[in-house]
């Protein structure tokens, strides 16, 4: 019989699958199951227990179809797990980086974004300025 961690790992890989072409691991491959199994938040812990129990009662391996059934039969528990998996997965700096977002804490370094040159802003805003004022000014005279 599969252990809780093995079973949850299989579910997690269905929730966030891998993309081998870009070397992006699935949520199970990333090893998130052990942390989730040890969750102390009561609602999440209870949801995971209930979902694992439901999976064990089903024949066959964990598949998209089985996970869809979990979602349908135990929607609140499933939602708890799904949110927790998304949080655990995307709080990893290495996963963030694979999606083009910096792995670093955003302070103090942030991101280098150059200010647009004044001539570019002038050119971009020229049609807007050319149309003239667009506000109503009942107390200060019509624009």
Partner 1 sequence: MSHEPVDVLIIGAGASGAAIAWSLLETRMRILCLEQGGHLPDRDFPSRREDYELARYAEFSCDPNVRRQPQDYPINSNDSCITPVNWNGVGGSTINFLGHWPRMRPSDFRTRTLDGVGEDWPLDYHTLAPFYDMNDANTGVSGLAGNPAYPEYKPPLPPIPIGKLGQTLAQGFNKLGWHWWPSDVAILSEDRDGRQKCVNAGTCDLGCAAGAKGGTNFTYWPILENAGVELRTRSRVREILVDQRTGLASGVLYHGADGQLHEQKAEMVVVACNGIGTPRLLLNSRSGLFPEGLANRSGMVGKNLMFHPLIGVTGVFDEPMLGHEGPMACSILSQEFYESDPSRGFVRGYGLHSGRSTTPMTYALGGYGIDDPIPWGAAHREIMDEIYPYLAGLTIVSEDLPEEENCVTLDPELTDSDGIPAPKITYRLGENTRRMLEHGEARASEVLRAAGARRILSKGDGKVWWRAGWHQMGTCRMGNDPERSVVNSWGRSHDVKNLFIVDGSIFVTAGAVNPTSTIQALALYVGDRIKTNIANLFD
Binding site for partner 1 (CB under 8 A): 14-19, 22, 24, 64, 67, 71, 79, 82-83, 86-87, 89-93, 95-96, 99-101, 103-116, 120-121, 124-125, 127-129, 131-140, 143
Phi and psi at residue 90, to the nearest 5° = -85, -5
Neighbours of 44 (CB within 10 A): 16
Question: Which residue, 40 or 107, is less far from partner 1 as judged by CB?
Answer: 107
Question: Which residue, 57 or 143, is less far from partner 1 as judged by CB?
Answer: 143
Supply the minimum distance, in Å, between the C-beta of residue 1 and partner 1.
Answer: 25
Which ranges in 1-143 belong to alpha helices (H)?
4-15, 33-37, 42-56, 64-73, 75-90, 93-98, 118-130
Supply the minimum distance, in Å, between the C-beta of residue 38 and partner 1.
Answer: 16
């Amino acid at each position: 019989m599969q252990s809780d961690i093995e079973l949850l790992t299989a579910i997690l890989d269905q929730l966030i699958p891998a993309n081998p072409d870009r070397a992006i691991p699935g949520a199970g491959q990333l090893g998130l199951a052990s942390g989730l199994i040890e969750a102390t938040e009561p609602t999440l812990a209870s949801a995971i227990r209930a979902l694992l129990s439901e999976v064990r009662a089903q024949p066959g391996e964990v598949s998209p179809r089985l996970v869809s059934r979990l979602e349908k039969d135990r929607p609140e528990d499933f939602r708890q797990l799904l949110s927790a998996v998304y949080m655990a997965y995307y709080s990893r700096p290495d996963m963030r980086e694979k999606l083009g977002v910096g792995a670093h804490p955003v302070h103090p370094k942030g991101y280098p974004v150059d200010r647009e040159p004044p001539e570019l802003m002038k050119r971009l805003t020229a049609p807007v300025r050319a149309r003239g004022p667009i506000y109503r000014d009942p107390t200060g005279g019509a624009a």
